[in-house]
Amino acid sequence: MAGAPACPTAGRAIPALLPGLLPALLPVLLSAPGIAAAQAWPSKPLRYIVPFPPGGGADLVARAVAQKLNEQGGMSVVVENRPGAGTIVGAEVAARSAPDGYTLFMGSNTTNAINPNLHPKLPYDTLKDFAPVSRLSAFPNILVVHPSMPVKSVKDLIALGKARPGQLNYGSSGTGTPAQLAGVMFGDVAGVKMVHVPYKGSAPALSALIGGETQLMFASLGSSLNFIKGGRLRPLAVTSARRSAAIPEMPTIAESGFPGFEAITWHGMMVPAGTPAQIVQRLNAEVVKILRQPEFVAWLLSQGADATPSTPEEFTAFLKTELALYARLVKQSGMKPD
């Protein structure tokens, strides 16, 4: 039996439809390589760029997270310290890396909120060049004074500062650091004029305070706890919104008469902008799992920090708030880059 006659338009139907279908199909076709790459990820070690020297809070947290990712996530993560130019060197390396999921970056308020407001020309843009994964940790600063200072509380310090305007000096780990800007915030709300003395890092700043070169400092809680316990520094208050579990008896500056005061050092994981969304979500899920483990939370507390897991969207909103905050503080202080 002869087959049915071929439709004379059948051969032309598909080509005729293509112009209309292409706009809808194009995003799918273009994303196919990215989807395939994300599904195969990771197939090689990841590098975690930390724009700080080894041994500091950012480095310790990055290494602890990297170890956990190695253990639980089946990922081989290698920490790569790239300090220099106030964290700008490492940030530029990360921002210019391929967005393939094999470069992680340790963001912070220094790198991603202060520097963009302090330096008129940066080789990276916080919101355009990075994709947030999750916040990681928050280190409260602690207001400490030299034991010879005749003050036992924030109230005492303010009274002394007002009695001696411009005579109190406070050290910090450098110009444009969270420690300096905590002093700017405190001086503003307390109505006390203080002199800022920058040092090249928190260790020399603490040494100067212990040696009596300066009178007070908004120091990292983790780096100053041993000196506090040894009586070489006198603590007055922590700068976090809530009391720190690492030193629960210490009041906050907010409790000391300044509601809403908060000045912390935070860290978070980022990747280069354009990294496939599937990889960002996978990293977020693994990191949040780590930050919710009781033993990891306890380890962070032993370092003077709190775990701060978040979604990528929450981290993005936080970054926008921080950029606005430090824009005001940098302008108010009149600070300039070294």
226 belongs to a structural domain: yes
* Final residue belonging to a domain, choices 222, 238, 254: 238
Structure-token match 């799918």, residue found: 28
Range of the domain at 292: 46-138+265-333
Q: What is the largest CA-CA distance in the chain?
A: 112
Q: What is the pLDDT of residue 20?
A: 58
In a domain, 16, yes or no: no
**Average pLDDT score, the chain:** 89
- Residue 2 confidence (pLDDT): 47
Q: CB count, 10 Å around CB of 209?
A: 26
Burial class (CB in 10 A: 0-12, 13-18, 19+), 32: exposed
Mean pLDDT, residues 320-338 taken together? 88
> CATH number, domain at 229?
3.40.190.10
Residue 78 and residue 126 share a domain:
yes
- Indicate the pLDDT class of residue 9, thresholds 50, 70 and 90: very low
Token readout for 55 is: 């041994």
Tens of pLDDT, residues 53-99: 888 889 999 999 999 999 987 899 999 999 999 899 999 999 999 99
Is 70 part of a structural domain of the chain?
yes
**Cβ-based burial of 62 (10 A; exposed 0-12, middle 13-18, buried ≥19):** buried
**Tell me: the pLDDT tens digits for 20-44?**
555 555 555 555 555 555 668 999 9
Shared domain check, 218 and 279 = no
Same domain, 121 and 193: no
CATH assignment of the domain containing 55: 3.40.190.150
Phi-psi region of 124 (alpha: psi -120 to 50; beta: other; left: phi over 0): beta
**What is the average per-residue pLDDT within 234-250?**
92
Helix and strand numbers (H, E) in the chain are 13, 10
In a domain, 152, yes or no: yes
Compute the distance between CA of residue 153 and CA of residue 158 in angstroms, rounded to an integer.
9
Does residue 201 fall inside a structural domain? Answer: yes
Considering its fold, how many domains does the chain have in total?
2
Establish if 278 belongs to a structural domain.
Answer: yes
User: Once rounded to an integer, what is the mean pLDDT over residues 264-285?
Assistant: 97
Q: Is residue 35 part of a domain?
A: no
Do 269 and 217 lie in one domain? The reply is: no
Question: What is this structure's pTM?
Answer: 0.81
Task: Answer whether residue 1 is part of any domain.
Answer: no
Looking at the fold, whether 123 and 163 belong to one and the same domain comes out as: no
- pLDDT, tens digit, for every residue of 172-222? 988 888 899 999 999 999 999 999 999 988 889 999 999 999 999 999 887
